[in-house]
């Protein structure tokens, strides 16, 4: 998804600050499934004899899930939602603290057995955080590495210990109640404030706590490993070397060379004597850190090695990667065997007693037999081979057609996910989006309701797109991406307020059919309907019977001081959510946004507490939903000339330029022509062409054709009416076409639109 911007504007910059955006992520029917590939796994063994083991999974959909494990089943018991980008790694520290890292540049901590509430957010990295490592016995130590070449060692207990507020710090997001607690959470991360009162992002810290920095990497870090006591840390990445650190001080102790490509996976034995590394050069290497050298190389894979897991004795290693294969290798005898062949690249492994969990780029994941307590049982099945020590040896074997057969054909069981969206197209009505997922299924989404309105199955995406084509022109008011495996709809001001439709076209009852409805504003009202209800309850306010919005006392100081705000004169000053904009509560979307403090956050719309304010939401969102105020928008009018058809004997109605809303239908222009041709003077209560726009004067060249001139509910005088056609580029226009559609599909020129009219028959 989009890269997260700075939380504050540089006070010395003359550039206009880019306003915070609001994104909502649509969810399919089942929220208990991941909808994108799994990047990480962690198993929590129960301490009680009759207790339940748990598996934690982190996904590219931005969420983590907790699975209660049974003998032949797994049940999703919680979703951990707060990250706003891919979850890249997760570890368990301190027995019941889950630590996760993400491409949103943060680490987050969670109580393993909680309902999914984020307890702390740790901000120190300048780029994507790619990997974590934890010490089994020294339970407070967690290391993190990322694309910025940074490696930090965190004392988790010290990092999350709450401190009282001081006068020179500001709260970060976890301390302002946006992570699921009914009350504001304890302070977790504070930012020092510079003299100009802008947040200094470079000194972002956790209430003054600064992690230990291991300085030395000049490029991206992809893998970390720590021994049980937390006295040794190994890191690797794109520099083709392994660096070894003392995590207690951040000092370097050695550098190991041997791989000829990126290091993607690392393991340390419990003592810290031996290290295993997997690389994009397809090799697995065993290092003796005491001797500071590689003692064995294992040519097992034919492509990049991305995941490693070892038996408790560190005698055998399970490995997987880009070649879709899971191998078991005896580190002493070099004997290796292919356990299974996958359909997707393997990203991470987690050993669970005598089975192994395998995470891939697919949203479903599997549990396979592993014989972790006695791996020699697997080799007794036969089919093993001797791992070479040169990378081309396995590639040659594969090319010669002598690749081994897998021991296991089917997993013990599979936890299915939702197929990720891989292709999408916004249709011309700017409401519907056509998508295709990894299963080949094509679906039609209504993004203002957040639901699938049609599932076409496995059909041609391009053919279906052609079938759904409509000749209609509506301004682009949102952008989309499917980086999280589902549709993320991005709203930016003022662009999101650029599209309007008539209430009749949206089938909204109780409103005049000519009332204009702003799609962006109504969508925001639908997204924050639950928040508004909670807010009224918190403030002790009653919803007015006539649906009017809250009083001006709810106006934020920012909106009162902001000179660019103007009231939309066509807005009904209410907080009613119209049916076309009522979002699903069965699978509610999640909001991703940020306010004036802290960083981006994510939460389901049904879990908003009503306590979120300008610290959490962008100011323009609050101005819209609380005060019905929209920022200034570009001109929504369309200028055009209205002339008789060439050779026609009909009278000339006007010589000047006219203007009307872009969404005005051709039928309205037809009605206008009829009125002007039949009547010597305008009907009572109708505006003349020359005086419709107040303050412009009566000159025709500056006149405007307004909605009020074409009110369908007015009864014309009973006279014979001519039948009128409107043409553009000699093409007769459908009465349902809007001026914007005519300009986009018929006129196709940058100059002002020219319409022609003719009388075809009196009636």
- pLDDT in the model for residue 562: 40
Cβ atoms within 10 Å, residue 691: 13
Residue 742: which H helix or E strand, with range?
helix 739-742
pLDDT for 30? 72
CB 306 within 8 A of CB 346: yes
**Sign of the torsion formed by the C-alpha atoms of 226, 227, 233 and 235:** negative
pLDDT for res 160: 76
What pLDDT, on the 0 to 100 scale, is given for residue 561?
37
Using CA atoms, how far apart are residues 293 and 760, in angstroms rounded to an integer? Answer: 93
Angstrom distance (rounded) from CA 741 to CA 74: 53
Residues of the chain with pLDDT under 70: 1-17, 29, 48-50, 162-208, 391-402, 541-574, 634-635, 678-722, 761-763
Distance CA 721, CA 86 (A): 64
| pLDDT value for 705 | 55
Burial 611-631 (b: 16+ CB within 10 A, else e): bbebbbbbbbbbbbbbbbbbb
Report the alpha-carbon distance of residue 334 to residue 402 in Å, rounded: 18
Q: Which superfamily does CATH assign the domain made up of 258-417 to?
A: YVTN repeat-like/Quinoprotein amine dehydrogenase (2.130.10.10)
DSSP summary character for residue 414 = E
Q: Could you give the CA distance from residue 381 to residue 299 in angstroms, rounded to a whole number?
A: 21
Question: Would you identify the CATH topology of the domain 635-679+719-762?
Answer: Ubiquitin-like (UB roll) (3.10.20)
Architecture of domain 34-158: 7 Propeller (2.130)
Half-sphere exposure of 746 (CA within 13 A, CB side): 24
Contact by Cβ (8 Å): 677, 651: yes
Instruction: Decide: 374 and 352 in contact? Cβ < 8 Å.
Output: no
CB 296 within 8 A of CB 331: yes
Q: Are the beta carbons of 495 and 476 closer than 8 angstroms? A: yes
The yes-or-no answer to whether 34-158 and 258-417 have a common fold is yes
Query: Which among 414, 542, 426, 411 is positioned nearest to 477, based on CA atoms?
Result: 426
Domain boundaries, the chain: 34-158, 258-417, 421-535+577-627, 635-679+719-762
What is the phi/psi pair of residue 159, to 5°? -70, -30
3 state SS of 554: helix
Q: Torsions phi, psi of 585, nearest 5?
A: -100, -10
State the pLDDT at residue 393.
63
pLDDT of residue 95: 79
Vertex 591, ends 506 and 456: CA angle to 5°? Answer: 55
Tell which residue, 286, 291, 290, 293, has the closest CA to residue 308: 286
Distance CA 37, CA 42 (A): 15
748: left (phi over 0), alpha (psi -120 to 50) or beta: left
């Amino acid at each position: 998804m989009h890269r997260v911007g700075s939380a504050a504007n540089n006070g010395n910059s003359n550039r206009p600050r880019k306003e915070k955006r609001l994104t909502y992520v649509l969810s399919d029917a089942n929220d208990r499934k991941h909808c994108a590939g799994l990047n990480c796994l962690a198993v929590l063994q129960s301490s009680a004899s009759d207790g339940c083991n748990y598996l934690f999974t982190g996904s590219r959909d931005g969420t983590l899930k907790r699975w209660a494990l049974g003998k032949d089943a797994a049940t999703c018991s919680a979703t951990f939602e707060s990250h706003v980008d891919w979850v890249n790694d997760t570890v368990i520290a301190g027995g019941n603290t889950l630590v996760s890292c993400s491409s949103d540049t943060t680490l987050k901590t969670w109580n393993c057995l909680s309902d999914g509430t984020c307890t702390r957010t740790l901000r120190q990295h300048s780029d994507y955080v790619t990997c974590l490592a934890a010490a089994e016995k020294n339970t407070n130590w967690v290391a993190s590495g990322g694309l910025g070449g940074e490696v930090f060692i965190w004392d988790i207990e010290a990092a999350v210990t709450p401190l009282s507020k001081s006068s020179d710090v500001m709260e970060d997001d976890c301390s302002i109640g946006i992570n699921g607690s009914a009350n504001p959470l304890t302070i977790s991360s504070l930012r020092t404030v510079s003299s100009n009162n802008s947040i200094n992002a470079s000194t972002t810290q956790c209430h003054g706590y600064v992690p230990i920095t291991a300085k030395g990497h000049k490029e991206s870090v992809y893998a970390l490993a720590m021994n049980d006591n937390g006295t040794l840390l190994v890191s690797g990445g794109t520099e083709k070397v392994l660096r070894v650190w003392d995590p207690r001080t951040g000092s370097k102790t050695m550098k190991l060379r041997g791989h000829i490509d990126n290091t993607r996976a690392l393991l340390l034995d419990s003592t810290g004597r031996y290290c295993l590394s997997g690389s994009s050069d397809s090799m697995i290497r065993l290092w003796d850190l005491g001797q500071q050298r590689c003692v064995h190389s294992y040519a097992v894979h034919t492509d990049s090695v991305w995941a490693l897991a070892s038996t408790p004795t560190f005698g055998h290693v399970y490995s997987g990667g880009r070649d879709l294969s899971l191998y078991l290798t005896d580190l002493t005898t070099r004997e290796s065997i292919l356990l299974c062949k996958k359909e997707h690249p393997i990203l991470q492994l987690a050993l669970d007693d005598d089975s192994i969990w395998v995470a891939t780029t697919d949203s479903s994941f599997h549990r396979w037999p592993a014989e972790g307590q006695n791996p020699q049982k697997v080799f007794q099945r036969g089919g093993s081979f001797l791992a070479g020590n040169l990378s081309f040896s396995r590639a040659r074997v594969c090319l010669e057609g002598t690749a081994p057969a897998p021991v296991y054909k089917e997993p013990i069981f599979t936890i299915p996910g939702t197929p990720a969206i891989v292709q999408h197209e916004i249709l011309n009505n700017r409401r519907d989006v056509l998508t295709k997922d990894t299963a080949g299924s094509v679906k039609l989404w209504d993004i203002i309701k957040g639901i699938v309105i049609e599932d076409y199955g496995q059909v041609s995406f391009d053919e279906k797109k052609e079938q759904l084509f409509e000749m209609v022109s509506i301004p682009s008011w949102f952008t989309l991406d499917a980086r999280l495996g589902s549709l993320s709809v991005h709203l930016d001001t003022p662009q999101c307020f650029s599209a309007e439709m008539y209430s009749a076209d949206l089938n909204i009852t109780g409103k005049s059919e000519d009332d204009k409805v702003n799609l962006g504003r109504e969508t925001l009202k639908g997204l924050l309907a639950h928040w508004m209800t909670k807010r009224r309850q918190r403030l002790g306010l009653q919803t007015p019977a006539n649906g009017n919005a809250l009083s001006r006392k709810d106006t934020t100081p920012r909106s009162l001081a902001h000179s660019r705000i103007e009231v939309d004169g066509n807005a009904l000053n209410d907080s009613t959510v119209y049916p076309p904009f009522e979002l699903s509560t069965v699978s509610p979307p999640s909001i991703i946004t940020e306010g004036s403090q802290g960083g981006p956050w994510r939460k389901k719309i049904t879990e908003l507490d009503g306590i979120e304010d300008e610290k959490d939401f962008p100011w323009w969102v609050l101005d819209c939903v609380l005060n019905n105020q929209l920022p200034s928008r570009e001109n929504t009018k369309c200028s055009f000339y209205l002339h008789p058809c060439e050779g026609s004997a009909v009278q000339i109605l006007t010589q000047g330029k006219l203007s009307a809303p872009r969404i005005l239908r051709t039928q309205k222009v037809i009605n206008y022509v009829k009125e002007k041709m039949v009547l010597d003077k305008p009907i009572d209560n109708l505006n003349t062409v020359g005086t419709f726009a107040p303050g412009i004067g009566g000159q025709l060249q500056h006149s405007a054709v307004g909605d009020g001139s074409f009110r369908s509910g007015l009864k014309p005088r009973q006279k014979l009416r001519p039948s009128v056609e409107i043409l553009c580029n000699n093409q007769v226009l459908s009465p349902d076409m809007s001026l914007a559609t005519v300009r986009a599909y018929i006129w196709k020129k940058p100059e002002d639109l020219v319409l022609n009219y003719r009388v075809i028959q009196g009636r």
